[in-house]
Amino acid sequence: SKQQIGVVGLAVMGKNLAWNIESRGYTVSVYNRSSEKVDDMLKESVGKQIVGTYSVEEFVSSLESPRKIMLMVQAGAATDATINSLLPLLDKGDILIDGGNTYYKDTIRRNKELSEHGIHFIGTGVSGGEEGALTGPSIMPGGQKEAYELVAPIFEAISAKVNGDACSIYIGPDGAGHYVKMVHNGIEYADMQLIAESYFLMKNVLNLSADELHEVFAEWNKGELDSYLIEITADIFKKKDAETGKPMVDVILDKAGQKGTGKWTSQSALDLGTPLPIITESVFARFISSLKEERVKASKVLSGPAPVLPEGSKEEVIEAIRRALYMSKIASYAQGFAQMRAASEEYDWNLQYGDIAMIFRGGCIIRAQFLQKIKEAYDRDPGLLNLMLDEYFKEIVESYQAALREVISIAVKNGVPVPGFSTALSYYDSYRTETLPANLIQAQRDYFGAHTYQRVDKDGTFHTEWLED
């Protein structure tokens, strides 16, 4: 008898996802370019309904029709190579699903190319890492709706659940799913940067020890900030290095790596012309962290201010940092969701922001209580222009801005870099300001380049001869 679904690519993600699917009662065929991974997986799959195959022919013919094939291979050329090896063996109506971290423009292209062959193509974000793949990821599928309907029962079965709701919802046509996954990753960069700045201030200005930091983050995780990233941050501060006995964080080199999805998010913001400063600053913060050798040299040459003790008790400053973090996080999600709106208009995706917030609530790295609030905001007003204009978020940002201003000034006086916090506040102040100094920029552009301007008092396009009289 034939299997209900196939998985290609048996590195950590594919293997775990295949086991997850099998554990929900589906029969699964698996295939990997190099056969050792098939052998290894079969050895670890005793008692499971997993069928190993050793050629694309054997794999494709082992699947029931219409075939459902999930690719979990390296994004980029490997995905094209895998698709090309399968394509001659597929029939019209078969469904290829790419679960890799694929660039959304590749997904748009593949969806178009494959649909010319009558093959459905679903590009889906899968978030939650190795553990999520096995136990319940957040799934963001994009592609033909009718094809998604055929795999929806499987996706819903394997996804994370929050209050009984599956964290898998149809996102939109072609590249929509991968786009949303990309923005998810961008938001993740910003969440991590803002948490890191909070830590840095408490460490350098308040001199908190790793044990104290553990307490603070564990406490924060009980309130508005309740989220996976805050939870693991609390855990991290508890962990001691086996070799030296020091806190693990203190033996880890301060050079942040990246795989590029944050950069893609920023690049898309630049292409769409939408402001995304917090995520972009977070990408830059990783770049500047990786200039370690240069920073070591510069630290011997360039000086900062003498330390200034903050006013208020330690507890008050910690609470101000907590508020600064929550307000900045809100500004960051406001930017991420506004960018999805811009992309939705550009690509005609009809994204449903409340649904997206729903599936971010479980399984994925940015999962957090507060996504429920985003869902509620879009339920109140599906056309909401910016999250900060929603009644719940408006109240928070208005009442927490004083803390954010205070925390940034503590940082500035002490020479502690807080790029995420600073840009979050600038975004808030820019967004709420009726008249920005762009009138001067327009005058300059018109002066040197005759680029013209509009007037505040009448319609039309104007140019001034700036050097006359």
* Min separation Cβ 15 and ligand NDP, Å: 8
Query: Which listed range, 3-11, 105-113, 152-160, 271-279, lies at the site for ligand NDP (CB under 6 A)?
Result: 3-11
Tell me which residues in 7-46 interact with ligand NDP (CB under 6 A).
9-14, 32-34, 37
Choosing from 129, 260, 275, 417, the residue that interacts with ligand NDP (CB under 6 A) is: 129
| C-alpha to C-alpha distance for 258 and 281, rounded to whole angstroms | 14
| C-alpha to C-alpha distance for 284 and 266, rounded to whole angstroms | 10
Phi and psi for 170 in degrees, rounded to 5? Answer: -55, 125
Choosing from 18, 72, 147, 331, the residue that interacts with ligand NDP (CB under 6 A) is: 72
Whichever of 98 and 224 has its CB closer to ligand NDP, that residue is: 98
Given the residues 181, 263, 329, 373, the one annotated as active site: 181
Q: Write the burial class of residue 459 (CB in 10 Å: 0-12 exposed, 13-18 middle, 19+ buried).
A: exposed
Tokens 């040299």 found at: 297
Q: How far is the first Cα of the chain from the last one, in angstroms, to the nearest whole number?
A: 90
| C-alpha to C-alpha distance for 145 and 170, rounded to whole angstroms | 7
Count the neighbouring beta carbons within 10 Å of the beta carbon of residue 212.
16
188 is catalytic: yes
DSSP 88: G
The identity of residue 189, as a single letter, is: Y
C-alpha radius of gyration, the chain, whole number: 25
Residue 170, helix vs strand vs coil: coil
Choosing from 50, 63, 69, 75, the residue that interacts with ligand NDP (CB under 6 A) is: 75
Whichever of 326 and 360 has its CB closer to ligand NDP, that residue is: 360
Whichever of 32 and 414 has its CB closer to ligand NDP, that residue is: 32
Query: Which listed range, 78-86, 110-118, 207-215, 286-294, lies at the site for ligand NDP (CB under 6 A)?
Result: 78-86
* Min separation Cβ 33 and ligand NDP, Å: 3
Query: Which listed range, 72-80, 213-221, 227-235, 461-469, lies at the site for ligand NDP (CB under 6 A)?
Result: 72-80
Phi and psi for 302 in degrees, rounded to 5? Answer: -100, 135
Choosing from 23, 49, 74, 289, the residue that interacts with ligand NDP (CB under 6 A) is: 74
What contacts 252, CB < 8 A, 6 or more positions away? none
Closest CA to 229 of 177, 290, 187, 174: 187
Choosing from 40, 64, 130, 212, the residue that interacts with ligand NDP (CB under 6 A) is: 130
| C-alpha to C-alpha distance for 202 and 15, rounded to whole angstroms | 41
Given the residues 15, 37, 68, 188, the one annotated as active site: 188
- Is 73 a residue that touches ligand NDP (CB under 6 A)? yes
* Min separation Cβ 80 and ligand NDP, Å: 9
Q: Write the burial class of residue 43 (CB in 10 Å: 0-12 exposed, 13-18 middle, 19+ buried).
A: exposed
Q: Transcribe 173-238 into DSSP letters.
A: STTHHHHHHHHHHHHHHHHHHHHHHHHHHHHHTS---HHHHHHHHHHHTTTTT-BHHHHHHHHHHH
- Is 260 a residue that touches ligand NDP (CB under 6 A)? no
Whichever of 331 and 366 has its CB closer to ligand NDP, that residue is: 366
- Is 335 a residue that touches ligand NDP (CB under 6 A)? no
| C-alpha to C-alpha distance for 307 and 411, rounded to whole angstroms | 10
**Count of residues interacting with ligand NDP (CB under 6 A):** 22
Binding mask 80-119 for ligand NDP (x = CB under 6 A): -xx-----------------xx------------------
181 is catalytic: yes
* Min separation Cβ 127 and ligand NDP, Å: 6
- Give strand pairing partners of 28: 5, 50
Whichever of 77 and 306 has its CB closer to ligand NDP, that residue is: 77
* Residue with the CB atom nearest ligand NDP in the bound state: 100
- Is 178 a residue that touches ligand NDP (CB under 6 A)? no
Residue 125, helix vs strand vs coil: strand
Closest CA to 151 of 129, 107, 120: 120
* Min separation Cβ 17 and ligand NDP, Å: 9
Whichever of 220 and 228 has its CB closer to ligand NDP, that residue is: 228
* Min separation Cβ 371 and ligand NDP, Å: 19
- Is 78 a residue that touches ligand NDP (CB under 6 A)? yes
- Is 126 a residue that touches ligand NDP (CB under 6 A)? yes
Whichever of 60 and 72 has its CB closer to ligand NDP, that residue is: 72
Interacting residues with ligand NDP (CB under 6 A) = 9-14, 32-34, 37, 72-75, 78, 81-82, 100-101, 126, 129-130
Catalytic residues: 181, 188
